[in-house]
Amino acid sequence: MKEETATKLNVLMDAKKIDSKDLSFIKKVDSKIIDSFGEVDNEMLLIHLGIALERTKNKEEVDEIPREVWQQVINKEEFPRAKNFWKECKALIPVMLPREEESYILMHLVNIIRSVQNG
C-alpha cells in the first residue's frame, strides 16, 4: 500500500469512520490486488471501501450507478475478472455491502484491471 493511501486510511480510522476490522479487510484487499495485478493505483478503490463500510454500518444509502454507466461497466471484457476477484474479497469482508456499493467497487476493479492491461 502506498504511504499516502495508508495515511488517508489512518485518518479515517482516527476519525472513527472505519475500525480495525475494516482496516484489516482493506489491507487484505490491497494485498490481493498486488498479488493479482501488481503495483497499481488502487487508492480510490481502497478509500471507497472504507467509506462504503462506514455507510453500510450507519445504514446510509448510496445512489445507484446510472443505468447507462453500469451497462458500460458490465459490458467491459474485464468485468468477469473483476466480479470473480470481488467474490473472493467478499469472503473476508466484515460487513456485507449493499448491491449499490458493490456496483461502485466493481467499477473501480474494472478500471484497475483495464489500467493493468493497457499498461
Categorize the per-residue pLDDT at 118 as very low, low, confident or very high, splitting at 50, 70 and 90: confident
**Backbone phi and psi for residue 105, each to the nearest 5 degrees, phi listed first:** -60, -45
pLDDT at 26: 96
CATH number of the structural domain spanning residue 110: 1.10.1790
pLDDT at 116: 87
- Answer yes or no: are the C-beta atoms of 32 and 85 closer than 8 Å: yes
Domain count, the chain: 1
The 8-class DSSP code of residue 104 comes to H
**What is the mean pLDDT of the segment spanning 33-51?**
93
Mean pLDDT of the chain, nearest integer: 94
All cell numbers assigned to 72: 458500460
What is the CB neighbour count within 10 angstroms for residue 105?
20
Which stretches of 38-98 are DSSP H helices?
A: 43-57, 67-75, 79-90
pLDDT digits (tens, 9 = 90+) for 78-90: 999 999 999 999 9
> Position 70: which residue type?
W
pLDDT at 119: 66
Higher pLDDT among residues 22 and 1, named by residue:
22
pLDDT at 113: 95
Categorize the per-residue pLDDT at 1 as very low, low, confident or very high, splitting at 50, 70 and 90: confident
Domain, as residue range, for 27: 3-117
